[in-house]
DNA sequence: ACCTGAACACCGTTCAAGT
DNA sequence: ACCTGAACACCGTTCAAGT
């Protein structure tokens, strides 16, 4: 037993970048964005801050790594091309990200922060790739790939951010229906001269289903792509 | 002179919530997101932290107020309905936000943060209203208003966040062409098995124009809206 | 090469005290 | 009602020292 110590893979003791990122994700999931501190991290990993800084350059690098790890996992489900149609495949990828944000609420803010600080980091090509395959399968001519994929990616990230706080009501304690109702009433109470549209739409907002609405937006963009690039007959 | 002191409006000395928000925006513009601290703020306003806390509940409320102020200003240009067509009007609103983020780079992160923390705060109805008027003018039936406006708003916010760092190269010191070129080469160097699409599209990415690409995405969504809701003959 | 942990500079926020 | 400013708790990061 314990013969050569050649591959101590399973040792929980070894401090690696991976283990640090893992612990960071757990802390973020458990205690939210404010929960990730070097104090909490050293406590959980039973080390000092110096040990963490040996593997990771800064807190923001750690956050980037956590974000990348969660996004990669979200995009890895669904073996690429598994869905029936390109349309469905794009929807599946989008919903994968949507659900990841639902499970890891900190991801919305962090994705936005990371993408606006470093828009061309590792996360962007990951998402582009998953969406892009669907775009290509849709029959869009090569010249339109970048624009079509960009539009979808931007929509997905924007929508995901906006819908993040709507989650399954986890933590907030307030019922989602009640919450939307109060927002809807707030919109109805806006100045009629300044906000005619918001008031008119308040009722639709009240009853809307995040997921369905999210997919309806995808459908709208796909319809636009098809209209601009009609499939060959 | 100085007869009754009834309306000391112009006195620079009076500390008001407005003046605090104004100073916060200036600090953010000058020194970036990290530049807004209560120390810097008290220095600039010549007071103590307690004075600021009398007018503002917390730093995050102050950030929200700064965001709202800048967004309101960005949407206020263009007297609503001034553009020729609904299509152009939506484009103008979108570009207004796009440019605001270009001028205030911190706005991208802050918008994303605020919208994912409090998606139904004052900023949302503002943007919805501006976009929504265009949607209505487009002839979309009332039942489709919420979905169409949501799709546009989400796209705009997502794209704006992603493009924020591309600004006029202000601060970075690196030429934009050079920068995109290096990113493009990085994408071309990705694993061919894992990233076929990203590699194929790297060249289009290299030469792309943010603004034009942004508007092309708007066009795509508008085409989708028109396809789903064909205008009455 | 990897880890320890005390120390540093700085932060948001509070609050008793003033006017 | 509005402002002052010292004090508090906490944070990310560093670094001389250990193994």
Encode pLDDT of B31-56 as tens digits.
Answer: 999 999 999 999 999 999 999 999 99
- Comparison of pLDDT for B109 and B155, the residue scoring more: B155
Residue closest to C6 C1′ by Cα: A48
Selected residues 102-121 of chain B with any CB under 8 Å from a CB in chain A:
105, 108-109, 112-113, 115-120
| pLDDT computed for residue A84 by the predictor | 83
In chain A, residues with a C-beta closer than 8 Å to the C-beta of B209 are none
pLDDT class for B7, splitting at 50, 70, 90?
very low
| pLDDT computed for residue A79 by the predictor | 59
Alpha carbon of A110: minimum distance to chain B alpha carbons (Å) = 8
Nearest-CB residue to B201 (from A105, A149, A163): A149
Domain count, chain A: 1
Q: Which domain holds residue A104?
A: 78-228
Instruction: Reply yes or no on whether the pLDDT at B171 is more than 70.
Output: no
**Cα dihedral B61/B63/B66/B69 (nearest 10):** -60
In chain B, residues with a C-beta closer than 8 Å to the C-beta of A116 are 105, 108-109, 112, 161-162, 164-165
Structural domain includes residue A6 = no
Structural domain includes residue B13 = no
B163 touching chain A per CB within 8 A: yes
For residue A88, what is the domain's CATH number? 1.10.357.10
What residue has token string 């009007």? B89
> What average pLDDT values come out for chain A (233 residues) when binned by 10 residues?
35 82 97 96 96 98 97 82 84 94 90 83 93 96 97 93 60 71 93 96 92 96 97 78
What is the per-residue pLDDT across B190-232, written as a single tens digit (0 to 9) for each? 999 999 999 999 999 998 998 999 999 999 999 999 999 998 7
Structural domain includes residue B140 = yes
Residue of A nearest to B209 (CA): A147
Structural domain includes residue A10 = no
Check: CB of residue B216 under 8 Å from CB of residue A219.
Answer: no
Structural domain includes residue B43 = no
User: CA-based Rg of chain A, rounded to a whole angstrom?
Assistant: 22
pTM of the full predicted structure?
0.90
Which sign, positive or negative, has the C-alpha torsion A194, A197, A200, A202?
negative
Mean pLDDT of chain B: 88
| pLDDT computed for residue A140 by the predictor | 97
Selected residues 62-91 of chain B with any CB under 8 Å from a CB in chain A:
none
- Cα separation, A132 vs A152, whole angstroms: 9
For strand D, is any atom closer than 7 Å to the CB of A15? no
Alpha carbon of B163: minimum distance to chain A alpha carbons (Å) = 7
- Comparison of pLDDT for B232 and B11, the residue scoring more: B232
Cβ of B157: how many Cβ atoms within 10 Å? 27
In chain B, residues with a C-beta closer than 8 Å to the C-beta of A221 are 151, 155, 220-221, 224
Return the structure tokens found at B24: 């916060």
| pLDDT computed for residue B96 by the predictor | 94
Structural domain includes residue B64 = no
Return the structure tokens found at B134: 């265009």
Return the structure tokens found at A68: 């990348």
User: CA-based Rg of chain B, rounded to a whole angstrom?
Assistant: 22
Structural domain includes residue B134 = yes
Give percent of chain B above pLDDT 70. 87
| pLDDT computed for residue B119 by the predictor | 78
3-state secondary structure at position B10: coil
Residue closest to D3 C1′ by Cα: B51
| pLDDT computed for residue A112 by the predictor | 84
pLDDT class for B168, splitting at 50, 70, 90?
very low
> Which nucleotides on chain C have any atom < 7 A from a protein Cβ?
2-7, 10-17
Beta carbons of A208 and B146 less than 8 Å apart: yes
| pLDDT computed for residue B3 by the predictor | 38
| pLDDT computed for residue B102 by the predictor | 87
Structural domain includes residue A113 = yes
What is the per-residue pLDDT across B81-98, written as a single tens digit (0 to 9) for each? 566 899 999 999 999 999
**Cα dihedral A24/A26/A28/A29 (nearest 10):** 160
| pLDDT computed for residue A12 by the predictor | 52
- Cα separation, B38 vs B227, whole angstroms: 51
Return the structure tokens found at A7: 């591959």
What is the per-residue pLDDT across B51-70, written as a single tens digit (0 to 9) for each? 999 999 999 999 999 999 99
| pLDDT computed for residue B10 by the predictor | 34
Instruction: Reply yes or no on whether the pLDDT at B2 is more than 50.
Output: no
Return the structure tokens found at B103: 């001028």
Return the structure tokens found at A98: 């949507």
What is the per-residue pLDDT across B99-126, written as a single tens digit (0 to 9) for each? 999 899 899 889 988 887 787 888 999 9
> Which nucleotides on chain D have any atom < 7 A from a protein Cβ?
2-7, 10-17
Could you tell me which residues come within 8 angstroms of residue A199 by beta carbon, excluding any fewer than 6 positions away?
A187, A188, A190, A192
In chain A, residues with a C-beta closer than 8 Å to the C-beta of B187 are 125
């Amino acid at each position: 037993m314990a013969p050569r110590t050649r591959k101590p893979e399973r040792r929980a003791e070894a401090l690696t970048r991976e283990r640090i990122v893992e612990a960071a994700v757990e802390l973020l999931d458990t205690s939210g964005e404010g929960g990730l501190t070097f104090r909490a991290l050293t406590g959980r990993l039973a080390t000092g801050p110096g040990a963490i800084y040996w593997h990771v350059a800064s807190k923001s690098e750690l956050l980037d790594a956590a974000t990348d790890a969660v996004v990669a996992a979200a995009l890895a489900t669904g073996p690429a091309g598994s869905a029936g149609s390109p349309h469905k495949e794009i929807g599946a990828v989008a919903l994968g990200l949507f659900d990841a944000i639902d499970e890891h609420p900190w991801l919305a803010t962090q994705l936005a922060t990371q993408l606006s600080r470093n828009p061309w980091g590792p996360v962007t090509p990951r998402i582009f790739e998953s969406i892009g395959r669907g775009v290509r399968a849709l029959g869009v001519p090569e010249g339109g790939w970048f624009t079509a994929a960009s539009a979808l990616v931007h929509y997905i990230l924007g929508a995901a951010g906006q819908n993040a706080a709507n989650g399954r009501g986890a933590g907030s304690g307030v019922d989602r229906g009640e919450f939307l109702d109060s927002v809807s009433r707030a919109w109805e109470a806006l100045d009629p001269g300044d906000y005619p549209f918001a008031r008119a739409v308040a009722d639709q907002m009240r009853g809307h289903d995040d997921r369905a609405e999210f997919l309806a937006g995808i459908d709208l963009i796909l319809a636009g792509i098809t209209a601009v690039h009609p499939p060959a007959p």
